[in-house]
Structure 1
Amino acid sequence: MRTKASLFMSCSLALFLVGCGKTNPMLEQHPDFIGKWQSDHDTLVIEKNGQVEYRHKETEEKQTAHSDVEMSSRSDLKASITQFDQKQFQIGQGEFGQVFRIDRAPYQQNQHWQMQLNGQVYTKQ
């Protein structure tokens, strides 16, 4: 009886691990997007299973005659890809989502992978 239970658990674990390693169908046609990307203000991690982490940090400095003010904003979003085509991809939905316009798909320049989304150049880390 223990042998059957152990065999069942081993098979279940193997199926689970194979499922985790599978590429999201939306990314199968766009494998060059998978990876960790960095721009001046953003970090974008696209996993092959379709999960995406997006971090945006922006700092703005203003100087007046009497003071220097530094304002900072940060947003973090972790969601699945919900739409992907040649022009754009979306993670999440509605106010809990983000659309990325693909200005230039991943390409190699000076031995580094880059892409341009929403007007920003990202470099693969």
Structure 2
Amino acid sequence: MGLVEARRPVVLIVEDEFLLRMDAAEAIEAAGFEVIEAVNADQAIEVLEARRDITVVFTDIQMPGSMDGLKLARAVRGRWPPIKIIATSGHLHVSETDLPEGGRFLPKPYSPAQITGVLRELTIGG
């Protein structure tokens, strides 16, 4: 029985709107995941470069900064292939073919149950 068994999957939330990020973080933590937050793709890349334990990136598609969520998803797939990707948007509809293989799209507004359902599918069923 080591510490490894007690580890929760780590989810990186990338969302520039504070309240949406806070709500997502609360829902994801309540579902038993560890949460790290980033306000844009640039900050997300810094976090990913610094940590080796991130399981899922949950990103908004429309964000200010050097890249949007789709570019971030492709960058993550290229540099960190095992990391699962969930993209969300309230304005765009993105087909799963626009995302890297295995990526999922969750339209806003999403419920805590929807977000945790997709996370569990990706981390347990994946």
Give your verdict on TM over 0.5: no
Rg (Cα) greater in structure: 1
Answer 1 or 2: which has greater strand percent.
1
TM-score between the two structures when normalised by the length of structure 2: 0.29
Answer 1 or 2: which has greater helix percent.
2
Larger relative contact order, structure 1 or 2 (CA cutoff 8 Å, min sep 6): 2
TM-score between the two structures when normalised by the length of structure 1: 0.29
